[in-house]
Structure 1
Amino acid sequence: MKEEARVAILEAAEQVIAEQGPSATRMEDIATRVGVSVGTLYNYFEDRQRLLQALLDAQAQQLMAVLDAELERSQGAPYRTRLHGLLRSILEHAQKHFRFLSLLWEERVLRVAASSEELDRHQRLLSALTERIGSLNPEGLAQGVLRPEDASHYPTLLLGMLQSSLHRQLLDRQPTPVDEQIALLLRCFLEGASPRPG
């Protein structure tokens, strides 16, 4: 029961933040959306910042669970197919939460400096994503899809491409269709930007 209430609060918080923006959102607005008293919110979260942090943590955990399930589901498939599945999972998650993430990203960009706690959270997320993308490296190398030179850098490079693509969309407040993004990322990552011979 307590966990269900917490989840309901986090879902309502995302909706309200997506509508009003992080700075304008008040605990009262979230309580009204959930249908509880403000005091009830404070039983779960110390303040608005803690609620936002819990929401970001919950989204990161949800994304990692989806990626782990995709890696499990696609075992035995070719590297390109597995990478396609990971990219699709990340991009679909971003699209599902696009408005919320866009407003949150805009607010973060406007801040002069992020707190060390925010930086730590971001670093943990990047490490978890890099680990999951990197788990496909041995297959890509064995199948001849990836060159062995600099293979240890491939997960970071692909994640950098993915982040840049998402950041541009968030700042433009204009999502790109998932299939279009996947095709572009796979083409650029696996084939490079050089013109094809012939």
Structure 2
Amino acid sequence: MASSKRWASIISSIASFLLFFIIILQVPVFRVPCRTGTCTSPVEVMSSHLIATELYPALGPKALLYPGAIARSYIKNRTFPSYSKLSKLYNLTNLRKTSASTDLQHLEILAGSYLAVAGAVLGLIRLGRTSLFGTLLILWGFVREVILKNSANMNSARSIHIYPVTMCIALLCAFLAIRKDVRKLIRCCRTRRGAKSLRFRAKIM
């Protein structure tokens, strides 16, 4: 039987790659107002904010958006978009004129998107719990605005939506990508299974 360390390494590797593809290929996990209109993935939220605030040259955010644009074109059976058409495809042309109020209204989702994207990349080299914290922060943003009704603009609360299946998969992958936690979980399961086996043998004898 393989050791808990080996199983933890295998599980965390698979989870890290799955999470990376979910984030980078921009699988829809929510729907929230952003600088471009409506964003459905952490990469879109982060990229629109970076380009609008000029915190980073537009070349970097566009490079992050390109894999998702290719994936969407493939799913919809369309021709792959050129890099120069990304601004039109994602409505990035007039971002500097848009109000920053949308970012302030969904601050937790914005911060969580940054952490989720960074964590997905760092997860490939097994660094930290950044992605898990980012995903939980995004969830807290939705809890605050939808369930607790704590948003100043109630119409905004109705305009946001979360996709439960993809969000649960992303959250599970973010947790399983942490090798230490997976190893503890495997050890705990093996300990409980061993204890049940001993009790069963005791009853038979």
Select the structure with the greater relative contact order (CA < 8 A; seq sep ≥ 6): 2
On whether the aligned pair clears a TM of 0.5, the verdict is no
Select the structure that is richer in helix.
Answer: 1
Structure number with the higher strand fraction is 2
Q: TM-score, normalization: structure 1?
A: 0.30
From the CA coordinates, give the structure whose radius of gyration is larger: 2
**TM-score, scaled relative to structure 2:** 0.29
